[in-house]
Structure 1
């Protein structure tokens, strides 16, 4: 029998995780397959549907037991043409200034939007789309710059900064997933808007330092419904943007809110924003809790595998790195350093800025150190929090990293 005759043509709705895709046969768009291989997750199937794939050629003789020695999983991508953002990578130091401007503009936009809501004025979509586009361009030039900005938190500015940070993380995540720019913009815009409903929650609940009572907790959770109502009234806002706002607190086990959705009832985009929203919330210092390290946040979500899509979580970790830019780390030498740049070939050994000695409790002359270089005899021992050492991380960032 000819090998081609062993292949099967199936509709996209019949594709399930575990199948081996050979080619795309029919589509509404112009999708190419990076490499033939297994479809390992429902997320990839949703991505193919989003890109307009209608029919595929699969090899039914192959199964996932063979996957360990197989090509990489199938992944749909739109070919990058001349001038594509994917080809315009620039050094971190060159992008950092623009990233600072973009971050402050995004915070200003959040502040104005909250004021507009309180005054009964409608939300304007175009400024948020423009903001999302600016962040997307920055991420494709060098994602480490905006990732660094997302780590520099102002005291008592969580309401303004959280949605900006979530949008940055969502953009980086979507880039990792190979999404087209239009979809990335819809996700980034939805992330910027996802918590708008919090402005309708009374301040005494929103900023309460202690545990919320049942009535207060119910009102706090209503912020998702308030956001949904606000965003439904915004002309031209895409269903994807509304979706990420409406389901960012839903969980795979059905224990999320407000609808208690579970498993396949939650879209891939809803699963993605659940991850990035939780990550930023855990790493932020709030009126009722201290922030924790990024690694701690990832460990929590890994442990709560019933709540978060683990395949997508692995993609998120690949996107931001084990030690994201801006992370405070303690080295084997007992020195403190800030992760300055990721090292894609050796993620455990990024470029850092050393500035403090924990044993002798004093600041050091700032030194940039590439932990991946053979001549460097030091390594990361742990991610730590600045409060543990009385470090004013904001001041150090402004004086030594953002200069």
Structure 2
């Protein structure tokens, strides 16, 4: 039985009866199983009520729904990262890509993107500089899948974009490790070597029987930029494949928010500023806008450490200024857009 329930009366185990939107952005899809963390985040975001299936009715009316906990996601994430590690190691040793070895990763990512909040918690908890090469492609596939969902792509298009995300950096298996893991800025010569990974990746996936040409082309062109200053061809605007434009945003977001051997990760809010500065010269305007508006909603209710050392909680993120949220510290409410002496140092 479906029922409209005040958000403060919701209980863990209730199941959303319809997609939930905030500021015209999809926050949680239908059939999401609510947890204490999700309910708190929705309350902090100002959601007044939810249409839900009560647990007793949910089993009858939504038999396909299953509860996915953070440990479930973490274990599946770790298993998928290990698969990609083995595949990249085999490619580096000169073996060909066997697509059946990563088909389970494609399927897992497609399932995981139906659970926005648990998925994001998992990505944030599993970041490590030591395994970045293996987890990056997995994260990009997850972010790209979310972008595709937020753009309301078809099921087939979602499956395609996830495959591009998983496969986009396969060419790095052919890139020298001393360049991939260099602690410091690459020399111009080293950067030219690094840039070859997209072309190398194209030829790796091109040899896979039955893999769509659109997927291969997106692997080749995911470093192209709208203004024509990308590589390998310097394509502009509409000449860049659609899937490549999505993966470009997911790729840069994960790189900026990840710990690397040569740099510390930055907060999502600093990343939003970077995206706004790079702006629409680098990325497709529609894709970038949809991504930033949707990804920002996730961080409502998150705990943060400020530059003052104080710990606070994000209470609101305004759609017109997503890089400067409103933070509550004890009994103080601070609008970071109005208080330049305060900024978020770390996500907790």
Identify whether the pair has TM-score above 0.5, normalized to the shorter chain.
yes
Please state how far the C-alpha of 1:113 moved relative to its aligned partner. Answer: 0.6
Please state how far the C-alpha of 1:330 moved relative to its aligned partner. Answer: 3.7
Please state how far the C-alpha of 1:219 moved relative to its aligned partner. Answer: 0.3
Which residue does the alignment assign to 1:252?
A: 226
Partner SS state of residue 124, structure 2: coil
Which residue does the alignment assign to 1:104?
A: 78
- Pick from 298, 314, 324 the counterpart of residue 289 of structure 2: 314
Gaps of 5+ in 1: 1-71, 74-84, 358-368, 370-375, 387-392, 397-403
Would you say the 8 A contact 2:307–2:345 is kept in 1?
no
**Residue 134, structure 1, aligned to residue 134, structure 2:** no
Which residue does the alignment assign to 1:82?
A: none
Would you say the 8 A contact 1:102–1:131 is kept in 2?
no
Please state how far the C-alpha of 1:295 moved relative to its aligned partner. Answer: 1.8
- Pick from 139, 149, 159 the counterpart of residue 122 of structure 2: 149
Please state how far the C-alpha of 1:338 moved relative to its aligned partner. Answer: 7.5
Partner SS state of residue 251, structure 2: helix
Would you say the 8 A contact 1:332–1:378 is kept in 2?
no
Cα distance in 2 for partners of 1:383, 1:127 equals 44
Would you say the 8 A contact 1:331–1:380 is kept in 2?
no
Cα distance in 1 for partners of 2:343, 2:221 equals 31
Gaps of 5+ in 2: 1-22, 38-67, 337-341
What does 1:216-295 align with in structure 2 at a 5 Å threshold?
216-295=190-269
Would you say the 8 A contact 1:125–1:234 is kept in 2?
yes
Residues 1:325 and 1:123: Cα distance change in structure 2 (over 3 Å): farther
Would you say the 8 A contact 1:172–1:320 is kept in 2?
no
Cα distance in 1 for partners of 2:318, 2:99 equals 37
Residues 1:168 and 1:229: Cα distance change in structure 2 (over 3 Å): same
- Equivalent residue pairs, number: 283
Would you say the 8 A contact 1:249–1:256 is kept in 2?
yes
Cα distance in 2 for partners of 1:231, 1:178 equals 26
Cα distance in 2 for partners of 1:125, 1:163 equals 15
Partner SS state of residue 156, structure 1: helix
How large is the Cα RMSD of the aligned pairs? 3.6
Cα distance in 2 for partners of 1:332, 1:290 equals 16
What does 1:15-164 align with in structure 2 at a 5 Å threshold?
87-92=30-35, 94-140=68-114, 142-152=115-125, 153-164=127-138
Which residue does the alignment assign to 2:275?
A: 301
Cα shift readout 1:79-124 (whole Å, capped 9, x = no counterpart): xxxxxx9532112574323211221122111111112212332222
Please state how far the C-alpha of 1:240 moved relative to its aligned partner. Answer: 3.2
Which residue does the alignment assign to 1:80?
A: none
Residues 1:222 and 1:337: Cα distance change in structure 2 (over 3 Å): farther
Would you say the 8 A contact 1:102–1:135 is kept in 2?
no
Please state how far the C-alpha of 1:242 moved relative to its aligned partner. Answer: 1.9
Which residue does the alignment assign to 1:197?
A: 171
Cα distance in 1 for partners of 2:301, 2:99 equals 31
Residues 1:329 and 1:226: Cα distance change in structure 2 (over 3 Å): same
Which residue does the alignment assign to 2:144?
A: 170
Please state how far the C-alpha of 1:224 moved relative to its aligned partner. Answer: 0.8
Please state how far the C-alpha of 1:306 moved relative to its aligned partner. Answer: 1.2
Please state how far the C-alpha of 1:148 moved relative to its aligned partner. Answer: 1.6
Would you say the 8 A contact 1:107–1:161 is kept in 2?
yes
Q: Which segment is superposed worse, 288-297 or 214-223?
A: 288-297
